[in-house]
Amino acid sequence: MTITGSITSQGVLRDGSGLVELTLPDADPQQRRDLEAAKWFQYRLYRGSALLYSSPHLTLSETRRTNDGALVMAGHP
């Protein structure tokens, strides 16, 4: 799955463990189901065609909706 658009990324320390939270644009219900069914995901940050960061394999630990309907997902190594 490739998600494009304005994605907010935030590092979080919770209960002594680090994780990344991504707020995804225009997340439809199928996107959430696809993410929850995945065994792992990888986060790659691009500027134009240049790869700026590639995460290790991450496991989805949480999904939730914001008040405006955007999907927030959290993952950790």
pLDDT, tens digit, 9 for 90 and up, residues 44-73 = 888 889 999 898 898 888 888 888 777 888
What pTM does this model have? 0.64
SS3 13: strand
pLDDT in tens, 7-50: 788 888 878 877 778 887 766 778 778 888 888 888 888 888 99
Q: What single string gives the DSSP state of each residue in 24-38? A: ETT--HHHHHHHHH-
